[in-house]
Amino acid sequence: MVKYKSKIGKRQAIKYKPEDTNPWITYFKNRIHKKNNCINCIVTGLPGEGKSWACLSQLSSYDPNFDIDTQVFFSASKMFEAFNTPEYFAKKGKCIMFDEAGADFNNVNWRNAFNRGLRNFLQTGRHRNYILMINVPFLTDVSKGVRELMNCRWMAEGWKENKTIISPRTMQYNDDKDKFYY
């Protein structure tokens, strides 16, 4: 289970429908189904802080048929191989997790084929209405070109009472000022 921190004041309280107990599920549904868009989420935190668990919990909450064997990747080549099959994105809201993405998409090798491939996918894949969650220890572990196209950032802050503590944010990149806004 994931526990979310909230910085919403008393006057800004949001009312949810009873079936929407997780506000991020609502955000995902609205962005995928109503706005015809995608989710590019990067989850950061030190090793053992609960990044992978947070991603798995969120994606399996959104999609009860989430399949770890076909939707969780540890290698960029396996992920791109799956992306190239026409039936992979047959359903709107396909959930994809790339665990420890810094291994293949790191900022040191920003010109390698994997980084270019992911950046191209993030730029052109919106029509596929996917949900991509990647996790890395630090935001700077992935290339700048990939970071600029992320629209959510979750920061894992450890565990408390068997729950991962996550500080989730939506984010927007301003290329004129070379700055992210949360």
Q: What is the pLDDT of residues 86-111, one digit of tens each?
A: 888 888 889 999 998 777 666 555 56
Query: What are 106-142's pLDDT values in tens digits?
Result: 655 556 677 777 878 888 888 888 999 999 999 888 8
Q: Is the pLDDT of residue 12 over 50?
A: no
Segment (H or E) for 160: strand 152-160
Nearest to 68 by CA among 56, 79, 50, 85: 56
Structure tokens at 169: 């944010």
Q: Is the pLDDT of residue 58 over 50?
A: yes
Q: Which of 60-74, 117-131, 145-159 has the lowest mean pLDDT?
A: 117-131
Q: Is the pLDDT of residue 145 over 90?
A: no
pLDDT at 9: 43
Residue with tokens 């809201």: 93
Structure tokens at 173: 């990149």
3-state helix, strand, coil in the chain (%, to 5): 35, 25, 35
Contact 41, 151 (CB under 8 A): yes
- SS3 for 65? coil
Nearest to 173 by CA among 153, 155, 148: 148
Percent of the chain at pLDDT > 90 equals 32
Pair type for strands 163-170 and 95-98 = unpaired
* Cα 158-154-4 angle, rounded to 5 deg: 65
- Please tell me the distance from the alpha carbon of residue 160 to that of residue 78, in angstroms, as a whole number: 34
CATH superfamily of 36-181: P-loop containing nucleotide triphosphate hydrolases (3.40.50.300)
